[in-house]
Amino acid sequence: MGFERTFDVYRHPIKGYQAVKRGFSWPAFFYSFIWSLFKGLWAIAFMIFLAVVALDVVGHSLAGAVPVAGLVTWLAQMGVAIFVGRNGNGWRREDMLGKGFVPVGTVQAGSPAKAVSQVAAAPPEG
């Protein structure tokens, strides 16, 4: 058995089951903009795009005047990535609830697919 994480599993009457890991999202940290597009978080993707472009423009415009502009820009972009990584899974949960998904369980599993199979195989409550 490998490293297990905690997943919240949701069910939609048409789209089926989806699992969302609790805690920090490494894919959201490393691939913030692409990750948010892939997950259908359009407004988040737009805000990430604007933040990165704004930081890049500011960094380039200050590059000649401020010796550490590149470092400050990089640190600010890392701050954006950390913010997205910390909040990404929460944004997914909120988005799924808004799209009609219902929470059906919380499990320890090695992957989202295993989390879904555990919940789907469990006998219905009630």
Q: What is the rounded distance in angstroms from the CA atom of residue 63 to the CA atom of residue 24? A: 33
pLDDT in tens, the chain (126 residues): 568 999 999 999 999 999 999 999 999 999 999 999 999 999 999 999 999 999 988 888 887 777 787 888 889 999 999 999 999 999 999 999 999 999 999 999 999 999 999 998 876 665
Q: What is the rounded distance in angstroms from the CA atom of residue 41 to the CA atom of residue 63? A: 33
Structure tokens at 117: 């199979």
Q: What is the DSSP string of 65-118?
A: T-TTHHHHHHHHHHHHHHHHHHHHHHHHHHHHHHTT-EEEEEEEESSHHHHHHH
